A and B are shown apart, each in its own frame.
Chain A
């Protein structure tokens, strides 16, 4: 394994192992065209020689812009085989952005997809004097371009072949000069402020991330991956490209960006990677389409979705279920879920991942019900692939296990620090930022998190969104509230604690679920207000709070809570219309209550103005009790 420490060396290794196996597939002229490892090897070899012919030096940058197609990846490997560095540019970037990246990276050769992208380089050519050639692989619309700067992909390959005759062995020499510490690519991150930064990522880092990904998500050379996320993004480099080269996973490309969904259905990939938003969108699409479906389809869906949720319950309890349930779940799969998943190319999907942002539990459970277990993938340009779920250990509240190669440390500020062979090598031409990010070998991720007792990494929030207790301890208000809302008995929660001694929460009970629980336990109640102040209910909620508290350090445990006598209401401006809590307003509105909590009172009488929808106002007087989670045992 030691010998294959760069992307192009891995490619050569795949070629030597199975030259005639399929490496890539691309739909063209309505047919799936297959490219073997031999095709890939030969393209990379001659293109790499062409780069040498054009005068590419070790360490020079090659900018690639285009849709995900075999040529994109071959150009990447060819550049790297010649000792060059990839600079991926996003297809939707305007010429000014292309110019910035091209100049900033000091690139010398551009590889572009088609006329649209070629035009961008021709527009900025005067401003980028180092640009030697523009190689394009789709000649459509370019037949009248006679610019000497342009070179077609086919001609480039020919140039490479003739270069080989005059310089035999040049490809191998350059290939063997490469080492894992060489920079493989510059990945540009937009950065929340100021100019974009270019993360320098070495072959070693990418390969370690890729191997770790494969270890968590075992894939072989018969597995299909649908590559459609921008190839200029590190996610595609770390997972798709690395899985392709280290595991031999087949990359498949859509005919056009518009045909991704249809083409994906035809391929039936075994891996599916989407962001949380896309998973949520797809779930919503299913629900909307079912709403429009024929009566019998709707009926089947409703009945079997319940069976699906039963499956989720069983998995979460770690049970297999009896024969009856196992039969019903299989039936649900065959009758409803397989056809549903088929529509999104998820029928054959074995591994489904999500990452980069938090996803709602509802979405997670919905896909689980359909038989798609979503796994987290946590990583970044700077830190590489850090943590992810193994198939047998999926918990939606965590990011999963920390990978074998990554070392994770939580700083005093609760920042996630990462070390290991998979981290990046610094920002290109930005030593100041590099020093701020890599301190003593640890990458500072700016993410706050902690490691819970199973050893899983948990993401709290961006460091900048954390609140601080009076003693300086940081905590994540939204994370606490989010975790509390996982409970079926808690509808909403608002945490207090900024510049105070400890954390307290104001909780709104879920009237339906708590009411049902109360009935089952023979607890009498009249109204929401009455129910919310029952001691038994406080005990019920305290249990949930203690469960959430388990994951926190002594300092950041929830120490007090109240059950509010009414729901948060957008009509009373407590919530925004998108149901986000308006913190400032709330702290003002309930300042007596907040004061009482931190004063240590057992309860408080509060009066609130209630605005009815018809405009009338009334004053409500209620006694609200203040509880301590550790004392209230149901």
Chain B
């Protein structure tokens, strides 16, 4: 059974077709990469899945639930987590608080209980802090735990953002260019984390990135978009050889 099923998705901004009849499925236990030139509609596609955009046509099913009528936070509760192309964190908060904030959807106690901060509320906060600390350990960001995010280098902020996505305890992870603007070492680290998450949490990952080396290396399948249309889909070896893809994207 596919985890995510996308059928005939179309998204228009006025006369501009951002997505044009895109269909594909994401199986459980696979890393799926979406590639394509700038403006091909990759981010729009993620936005349709996570609920930022409402497509004019088509449906998105996640674990047999139609997401069409669900709003962003409801989709998050289903376990759809994402990171952004341009890091979107609370710049004034620490790395720890940023990740802890994402635990919000798992808090059970209400405002009243929390304001008393005793008994259940206290226990709950300790529990969530433990979960966050495991993520911090996992992503190796202990040294920056209490640093204000705005003061961190770009690569580290990307890592914190990934940590925040993990705090949701996602059932599917959407990563929008997690390796852009990084040096080789940072890219290697990030690629390792992506693989580690995939293997440890056993969740599907949709990855957008421009670094062909990394994409071909870590994905199980690749989808190629061009002007909103899906022009190819397949295992990395086939994609690299495909005429159409070379013409559209990789260059002659």
A interface, CB within 8 angstroms of B: 28-31, 140-141, 143-144, 255-256, 258-259, 262
Contacts and interface: CB of A to CB of B under 8 A. Distances in A.
B217 interface: no
B211 interface: no
B52 to A, nearest CB: 33
Given A256-B143, A259-B142, A259-B143, A29 B134 contact: yes
Contacts of A256: 142-143
Interface string B160-203: 00000000000000000000000000000000000010011000
A28 B196 CA distance: 20
Interface string B107-147: 00000000000000000000001100110111000110100
Judged by DSSP, the binding face of B is: helix
A143 B133 contact: no
A143 B196 CA distance: 10
A137 to B, nearest CB: 14
B143 A258 contact: yes
Contacts of A144: 199
A259 B140 CA distance: 12
Given A255-B142, A256-B142, A256-B143, A29 B130 contact: yes
B133 A29 contact: yes
Contact of A30 (B136, B138, B199, B200): B136
Contacts of B145: 30
A99 to B, nearest CB: 25
A98 B134 CA distance: 31
A28 B199 CA distance: 24
Given A256-B142, A256-B143, A259-B142, A29 B196 contact: no
Nearest to A29: B133
B200 A143 contact: yes
Interface of B: 96, 129-130, 133-134, 136-138, 142-143, 145, 196, 199-200
A512 B251 CA distance: 73
Given A30-B145, A262-B143, 5 more contacts: A30-B142, A31-B133, A140-B137, A255-B142, A255-B143
B147 to A, nearest CB: 10
B133 A141 contact: no
- Tell which of B96, B138, B143, B200 has the most Cβ of chain A within 10 Å: B143
A31 B126 CA distance: 12
- Find the residue from A30, A255, A262 having the highest chain B CB count within 10 A: A30
Contacts of B143: 255-256, 258-259, 262
A556 to B, nearest CB: 51
Given A258-B143, A259-B143, A30 B133 contact: yes
Contacts of A258: 142-143
Task: State the majority secondary structure of interface residues on A.
Answer: loop
A156 to B, nearest CB: 22
16 contacts: A28-B137, A29-B134, A30-B96, A30-B129, A30-B133, A30-B136, A30-B145, A31-B133, A140-B137, A143-B199, A143-B200, A255-B142, A256-B143, A258-B143, A259-B142, A262-B143
Contact of B137 (A29, A143, A262): A29
A332 B137 CA distance: 41
Contacts of B130: 29
Given A29-B133, A29-B137, A141 B196 contact: yes
Nearest to B200: A143
Nearest to B130: A29
B138 to A, nearest CB: 8
B95 to A, nearest CB: 11
B33 to A, nearest CB: 22
A93 to B, nearest CB: 20
Nearest to B133: A29
Contacts of B138: 140
Nearest to B196: A141
A7 to B, nearest CB: 31
Nearest to B143: A258
B13 to A, nearest CB: 44
A141 B189 CA distance: 12
A259 B146 CA distance: 11
A255 B142 CA distance: 8
A140 B142 CA distance: 15
B131 to A, nearest CB: 10
A143 B142 CA distance: 21
Nearest to B134: A29
Which 9 pairs, one residue from A and one from B, show the smallest C-beta to C-beta distance?
A29-B133, A258-B143, A30-B133, A259-B143, A256-B142, A255-B142, A256-B143, A29-B137, A259-B142
Contacts of A28: 137
Nearest to A28: B137
Interface centre among B142, B143, B145, B196 (most CB of A within 10 A): B142
Contacts of A255: 142-143
A141 B138 CA distance: 10
Contacts of A141: 196
A144 B196 CA distance: 10
B26 to A, nearest CB: 23
A590 to B, nearest CB: 54
A262 B145 CA distance: 11
A29 B199 CA distance: 22
Nearest to B138: A140
Contacts of A29: 130, 133-134, 136-137
Contacts of B199: 143-144
A266 to B, nearest CB: 11
Nearest to A260: B143
A28 B133 CA distance: 9
Nearest to A141: B196
Contacts of A30: 96, 129, 133, 136, 142, 145
A333 B129 CA distance: 37
Contacts of A140: 137-138
A230 to B, nearest CB: 19
A255 B133 CA distance: 12
A255 B143 CA distance: 8
B130 to A, nearest CB: 7
B208 to A, nearest CB: 25
Contacts of B136: 29-30
Contacts of B200: 143
A31 B136 CA distance: 13
Contacts of B196: 141
Nearest to A144: B199
Contacts of B133: 29-31
A482 to B, nearest CB: 39
A144 B137 CA distance: 19
A141 B199 CA distance: 10
B123 to A, nearest CB: 16
Contacts of A31: 133
A140 B140 CA distance: 11
Nearest to B144: A258
B128 to A, nearest CB: 13
Nearest to A27: B142
A259 B143 CA distance: 5
A144 B198 CA distance: 13
Contacts of B134: 29
Contacts of B142: 30, 255-256, 258-259
Contacts of B129: 30
B152 to A, nearest CB: 13
Q: Which of A29, A31, A255 has the most CB of B within 10 A?
A: A29
A29 B128 CA distance: 12
Contacts of A143: 199-200
A530 B212 CA distance: 77
